[in-house]
Amino acid sequence: MQIQKTRPAPVAQVTGMGAIAHSDGVFFRVWAPHADKVFVIGDFNDWSHDAHPLRHEEGGYWGGHAPEAKPGDAYKYRLLTPYGELFRNDPYARELTNSIGNSLVVDPADFDWETDTDYQMPSWNRLVVYELHIGTFNAKEKDQPGDFYSAIERLDYLQKLGINAVEIMPIAEFPGDFSWGYNPAHPFAVESRYGGVKGFKEFVKAAHLRGIAVILDVVYNHFGPTDMDLWKFDGWSENDKGGIYFYNDWRSTTPWGDTRPDYGRSEVQQYLRDNALMWIDEYHVDGLRMDMVPYIRNVHADENPDNDLVEGSRLIQRINSEIREKYPWKFTVAEDLHSLDLITASIEDGGLGYSSQWDADFVHPIRQALIAQHDDERDMNAVANALLSTYNGDAFQRVIYTESHDEVANGKSRVAEEIADGDVNNYFSKKRSTLGIALVLTAPGVPMIFQGHELLEDKWFSDTDPIDWKRFKEFRGIVKLHRDLISLRLDRQGFTRGLTGHNTGLLTIDNEQKVIAFHRWGECGPGDSTLVVLNFSNNPIEDYYLPVPTGGLWRVRFNSDWEGYDQEFANDQTSLDTEAEPADEGFVARVSVAAYSAVVLSQDPA
């Protein structure tokens, strides 16, 4: 609300929480129900302890106007409580000097979004997601984390690769300079080391200018566990737990400490709701991915109804419902990994209302098929089940991948490293890791690539180990392979529209020769029907009879064994076109696929 310059607004006329900047100064509001008195101290009053007392409002809120305050000023709250004098950062602070420093007044309107108004997010069946970690994506030095500005420098590369969405690992202020981001100390504040509020807005704006959506990872299953001013915020707690923002009984327990927010408190629900909508409203992000949802809807993520947190599920429904109502094109993703329809079922049908969910039923069997040492250990039936899995009958209610930050750490490595055990440059690593990405980018679902996969990155993910961009020169062919697959996935040449369709049919499951083939389509017909054949064995197959949906010439649009992708690969990109022949029931075509390779075929548009 615009405040008149002639007089400060009364408390009741100012809505919102935290430091609310306006033309006549800054209005501060904080929730501290157990405080006896609250003051705001900061640069604007020389950190005077009593110059700016806040007035007590209903429900344990405190508010007050500081006409001298302005954006950029540092501040804190001083609370006088039965538990002593406390100095606390603002739970709603948009930025801090650092995780143990001071809050900063930020005016959310102080940014030029003018060039962002024309951006339109791709439809979900045309998303290709690239998961990245700001600190390591384009860090200049190993001992210095990257930031939003260094990440912007690589957006042209992602655009050329064909990526149209990035998923950013959490950026809320965390302790120190290095972190995965899943230990948010100040949930509303943008990590200062990454560039703060302005840096993140510049990143989103730059991504949108290149046609790239931004999906942000948020953490609501726990906070901290360290550097948290939220902990015993106004001094009160029970059972030596966390106080007003947290459960204070057995429900507080998570794998990350006794730091689960109290979803049953209306003020905490509002806090988390406000956080989710802030990223969309103020930062123009195009979606949210919620970390470890099972620990929001259940205490131990064990599917025991006695441990269910009904209020946690209701919070999720509230957030997703409001996002869907205000921004129906925004993409909300759950990391649940329990393979439940209810995660992406509509709220009207009793579901949680996410747009999509990370799919454990895809990544685990596919990784096993890729990293198994011997061909006889690869189960094509398991691959087929992973391929055909859907939620609520919707192919795009799942995000599919072979690598994520979780799948390449915590005792696990990159797919190429798991195959090679120290030598990712060898033939088998290159062949089977590219076979895996060919499946990811042709299977039904929203495909996701983890940063550096296209560079054949080795080892495992660490927040102190930057992506080695020098690998681009050596593996530019593998990068091209990813680019060509993404182009097909998005039907950029007009003859693989089926890869954006909802329909998938198996053409063959051959567990003896380790071959699987499938048909993707939207409406069927030339330019739409797309065939994918994958050989999961070390033996090339030649003249393999494959049932196809129609007769005529089927052109090979992609062959992962092309020497243009790697000198150790052999075949010519276009030598495998095939003419379908009539058979007893339909048509068959003879196809040839090299060892550990994939081919994609389609017909010319009519």
Instruction: Classify residue 395: in a domain, yes or no.
Output: no
Q: Are 143 and 68 in a shared domain?
A: no
Instruction: Classify residue 442: in a domain, yes or no.
Output: no
Please report which confidence band the pLDDT of residue 410 belongs to, taking 50, 70 and 90 as the band edges.
confident
Q: What pLDDT was estimated at residue 606?
A: 83
Q: What pLDDT was estimated at residue 5?
A: 33
The end-to-end CA distance of the chain, in Å, is 57
Instruction: Please state, for a pLDDT cut of 90, what percent of the chain lies above it.
Output: 92
**574 pLDDT above the threshold of 70:** no
**181 pLDDT above the threshold of 50:** yes
- Sign (positive/negative) of CA torsion 545, 549, 554, 558? negative
Q: Are 191 and 288 in a shared domain?
A: yes
Tell which of 335, 358, 381 closes a domain.
Answer: 358
| Distance in angstroms (rounded) separating the CA atoms of residues 188 and 171 | 10
Q: What pLDDT was estimated at residue 189?
A: 98
Instruction: Classify residue 423: in a domain, yes or no.
Output: no
- H or E segment to which residue 477 belongs: helix 476-489
Instruction: Classify residue 209: in a domain, yes or no.
Output: yes
Q: Are 229 and 295 in a shared domain?
A: yes
**Average pLDDT score, the chain:** 95
The total number of structural domains in the chain stands at: 3
At 506-518, the pLDDT tens digits run: 999 999 999 999 9
Residues 287-305: what's their mean pLDDT?
A: 97
Nearest Cα residue to 437 out of 427, 426, 447: 447
At 312-324, the pLDDT tens digits run: 999 999 999 999 9
Q: What pLDDT was estimated at residue 13?
A: 58
**CA separation, residue 383 to residues 223, 394, 442, 485, 548 (Å):** 37, 19, 13, 20, 20
At 530-560, the pLDDT tens digits run: 999 999 999 999 999 999 999 999 999 999 9
- Beta carbons of 481 and 560 less than 8 angstroms apart: yes
Q: Which of helix, strand or coil describes residue 449?
A: strand
**20 pLDDT above the threshold of 50:** yes
CATH of the domain at 562: 2.60.40.1180
Instruction: Classify residue 265: in a domain, yes or no.
Output: yes
Q: What pLDDT was estimated at residue 70?
A: 98
Cα of 358 vs its chain's centroid, Å: 9
CATH of the domain at 58: 2.60.40.10
At 350-380, the pLDDT tens digits run: 999 999 999 999 999 999 999 999 999 999 9
CATH of the domain at 166: 3.20.20.80
At 78-122, the pLDDT tens digits run: 999 999 999 999 999 999 999 999 999 999 999 999 888 889 999
**CA separation, residue 192 to residues 93, 99, 225, 287 (Å):** 12, 8, 18, 22
Q: Are 86 and 132 in a shared domain?
A: no
**8 pLDDT above the threshold of 90:** no
Instruction: Classify residue 379: in a domain, yes or no.
Output: no
Instruction: Classify residue 218: in a domain, yes or no.
Output: yes
**9 pLDDT above the threshold of 70:** no
Nearest Cα residue to 462 out of 417, 518, 523: 417
At 185-229, the pLDDT tens digits run: 999 999 999 999 999 999 999 999 999 999 999 999 999 999 999
Instruction: Classify residue 373: in a domain, yes or no.
Output: no
Q: What pLDDT was estimated at residue 31?
A: 98
Tell which of 73, 104, 135 closes a domain.
Answer: 104
Domain with 90, as residue range(s), is 11-104
Q: Are 54 and 158 in a shared domain?
A: no
**154 pLDDT above the threshold of 70:** yes
- Write the secondary structure of 542-591 as one string of H (helix), E (strand) and C (coil): EEEEEEECCCEEEEEEEECCECCCCCCCCECCCCCCEEEEEECCEEEEEE
Tell me the pairing of strands 515-521 and 530-535. antiparallel
Q: Are 75 and 189 in a shared domain?
A: no
Tell which of 309, 340, 358 closes a domain.
Answer: 358
Q: Are 127 and 77 in a shared domain?
A: no
**11 pLDDT above the threshold of 50:** no
Nearest Cα residue to 380 out of 516, 274, 531: 516
Q: Are 95 and 127 in a shared domain?
A: no
Residue 82 neighbours by CB under 8 Å, 6+ apart: 34, 36, 235
Q: Are 90 and 200 in a shared domain?
A: no
Q: Are 233 and 279 in a shared domain?
A: yes
Tokens of 46: 């020389």
pTM (2 d.p.): 0.96
Tokens of 136: 């390591």
Q: Are 230 and 276 in a shared domain?
A: yes
- Sign (positive/negative) of CA torsion 266, 269, 271, 274? negative
Tell me the pairing of strands 213-218 and 186-190. unpaired
Widest Cα–Cα separation across the chain: 90
Residues 469-475: what's their mean pLDDT?
A: 96
Backbone phi, then psi, for 87, in 5-degree steps?
-115, 120
Q: What pLDDT was estimated at residue 575?
A: 61
The least confident of 235-244, 267-276, 286-295, 562-571 is: 562-571
**475 pLDDT above the threshold of 60:** yes
**441 pLDDT above the threshold of 80:** yes
Own/partner contacts of 341-350, CB < 8 Å, gap of 24 or more, are 341/391, 341/392, 343/293, 343/391, 344/391, 344/392, 344/394, 344/397, 344/398, 345/391, 345/392, 347/317, 347/320, 347/321
Q: Are 162 and 93 in a shared domain?
A: no
